Amino acid sequence: MSSTAATKEWVLNAGEELRFEVDFRQTIELRLKSGCAEYFGAELGREATYVFSGENGAIFTWQGCTLAVAGECSSAYVAGETPMDSYINVHMAAQQLRMAAHQAQELGEKGEAPRIMIVGPEDSGKTSLARLLLNYAVRQGETPVFVDLDPTDATVTVPGTVSAIPVTKTLDIESGFMDYAMSSSYGQPETPLVWQFGHDDPGTNPSLFNILVDRAAQAINRRMGADARVAGAGIVVDTRGLSDISKDQVTMHAIEALGINILLVIGNERMYSLLDGRLTERNESMRGEAPPVSVVKLARSGGTVDRSALYRQQLNAKVVRQYFYGTGREEVSSFSTVVNFDDIQILRVGEDVVAPSSTLPLGEDRKVTDTTVAVVEPDESLMHSILAVTDAPRQQGDGSMSVDAGDAGDADGVVGIQAIGFVSVSKVEMERQRLIIVSPVPGRLQKHVLLYGNTKWVETS
């Protein structure tokens, strides 16, 4: 940004927030000059400079503060009406549960930590609230697990995935959850646990999505079994925006699989009333067998911004770029590698198109399920695809097999396998039978099984 960019000072009273929209061609530099302020629960450092581009957000203050903002925003204004009182009440209730859970653990008993899930329409502020609740918990010395069940947005790694990560420090003000993906490419401590779903809508393949949620739940429970700190802090689950809960096929499964005991419904009365009714019935029928789920209605912040499809595309492209190249401040090199078709096997879980039976040989009854595993023969359509790198064993033949939600077995180790990392296909060379791939870590990609997904990323400079 030019050093001559105009700087404007904003004075905020206690309980107010500065809301801003900065598009992808704009950059602002923001500084806290006096007082205290936070960005979705993470405290701003005094005199530190925060750079935002392609971001909508709000700097909130409980005590009052002065901010200096240099650069152009699409919009910036101070708002005094916010839902922060109700959000902090949720945090305080969750924190009480955590303290009781830690105390129970000390007595050798099994306490009930908060297992929070946030649902609501698109752009209602679910991810922002998850961020805020995680940051507040971390600021109180807790290590809650963030579970991302929203494959639309790239939050922790790349779009089209389900992920879980214990949050050990407040989320970076500029790069948010991406900080965790950065410090962890391929297998270091606190690596996010990630599963390739391959689509942006869980409804595209609910059977597969439910299996991935089961896998995430098992991994979280294992982690909690080994780490009392994490077990007592609980989980915060973000979900995909729902337009119609009655058509949703995955929320109820996720509530049971993840043992949710607090369901926050943000910004939609009808959705709240429907879920409250369903869960009251469920609580009655499961009395004594499973902890009850409390359903809490929360207001949507007036600051949340409805993002266009183009904006979301740009945002995802930015986050995927960060996955491969690091965030603006810590740009790292990504690595371009040549991979021979013979060295890898690409598998797809679930079919996009089910072959009509009229195209099958007479007498053959091909059973295609949502979790059928099939070998993908490399061709030009792989261009720009984001593929998950896995340790799955290579499949023989066409690989066809399937697995059901809740199954302990997992179709020869493919369905529901965790991703070690992701690569992007930058070139397909059919005549030389090889791919050029981009990876955030060096090294050859030999003998790996890659999982296909519909997510594409076109690299721009």
Ligand X SMILES: Nc1ncnc2c1ncn2[C@@H]1O[C@H](COP(=O)(O)OP(=O)(O)OP(=O)(O)O)[C@@H](O)[C@H]1O
If one asks whether residue 453 binds ligand X (CB under 6 A), the answer comes out as no
The residue with tokens 């922002």 is 128
Nearer residue to ligand X within complex by CB, 128 or 261: 128
Pick one of 58, 138, 265, 425: the residue that binds ligand X (CB under 6 A). Answer: 58
Pick one of 35, 125, 202, 421: the residue that binds ligand X (CB under 6 A). Answer: 125
If one asks whether residue 72 binds ligand X (CB under 6 A), the answer comes out as no
Cβ at position 118, least distance to ligand X in Å:
8
If one asks whether residue 192 binds ligand X (CB under 6 A), the answer comes out as no
If one asks whether residue 303 binds ligand X (CB under 6 A), the answer comes out as yes
106 three-state secondary structure: helix
Cβ at position 105, least distance to ligand X in Å:
32
Q: Do residues 332 and 326 make contact, with C-beta atoms less than 8 angstroms apart?
A: yes
Pick one of 128, 316, 327, 371: the residue that binds ligand X (CB under 6 A). Answer: 128
54 token code pair: 């392609």
Residue in 23, 12, 107 with CA at minimum distance from that of residue 62:
12
If one asks whether residue 437 binds ligand X (CB under 6 A), the answer comes out as no
If one asks whether residue 31 binds ligand X (CB under 6 A), the answer comes out as no
Quick one: angle between helices 84-106 and 126-139, nearest 10? 50
Stretch that binds ligand X, among 135-143, 147-155, 323-331, 432-440 (CB under 6 A): 147-155
What is the distance between the alpha carbons of residues 59 and 65, in angstroms, rounded to a whole number? 10
Cβ at position 343, least distance to ligand X in Å:
37
106 token code pair: 């000390």
Residue in 419, 412, 403 with CA at minimum distance from that of residue 371:
403
What's CA 348's distance to the chain center, in Å? 21
Pick one of 27, 56, 157, 418: the residue that binds ligand X (CB under 6 A). Answer: 56
Which residue, judged by CB position, is nearest to ligand X in the bound state?
303
Q: Total residues contacting ligand X (rule CB under 6 A)?
A: 22
Residue in 441, 388, 394 with CA at minimum distance from that of residue 418:
388
If one asks whether residue 290 binds ligand X (CB under 6 A), the answer comes out as no
Cβ at position 357, least distance to ligand X in Å:
38
61 token code pair: 């203050």
If one asks whether residue 123 binds ligand X (CB under 6 A), the answer comes out as yes
Pick one of 66, 105, 152, 273: the residue that binds ligand X (CB under 6 A). Answer: 152
What is the distance between the alpha carbons of residues 346 and 63, in angstroms, rounded to a whole number? 55
Pick one of 27, 127, 261, 385: the residue that binds ligand X (CB under 6 A). Answer: 127
If one asks whether residue 268 binds ligand X (CB under 6 A), the answer comes out as no
Nearer residue to ligand X within complex by CB, 143 or 301: 301
Stretch that binds ligand X, among 50-58, 206-214, 358-366, 439-447 (CB under 6 A): 50-58
What is the distance between the alpha carbons of residues 178 and 322, in angstroms, rounded to a whole number? 7
Among positions 240-259, residues that touch ligand X (CB under 6 A) are 240-241
Q: Do residues 143 and 179 make contact, with C-beta atoms less than 8 angstroms apart?
A: no
Nearer residue to ligand X within complex by CB, 113 or 133: 133
Inter-CA distances, 50 with 100, 310, 316, Å: 37, 25, 21
> Binding site: which residues?
17, 123-128
What is the distance between the alpha carbons of residues 413 and 404, in angstroms, rounded to a whole number? 13
Nearer residue to ligand X within complex by CB, 18 or 415: 18
Helix boundaries (H) for 113-205: 126-139, 178-182
The residue with tokens 């779903």 is 197
Sequence letter at residue 356:
P
Nearer residue to ligand X within complex by CB, 306 or 398: 306
Cβ at position 318, least distance to ligand X in Å:
12
User: What is the DSSP pairing of strand 345-349 with strand 335-340?
Assistant: unpaired
Stretch that binds ligand X, among 66-74, 274-282, 298-306, 378-386 (CB under 6 A): 298-306
Nearer residue to ligand X within complex by CB, 72 or 122: 122
What is the distance between the alpha carbons of residues 140 and 135, in angstroms, rounded to a whole number? 9
Catalog residues that contact ligand X under the rule CB under 6 A: 17, 19, 56-58, 120, 122-128, 150, 152-153, 240-241, 301, 303-305
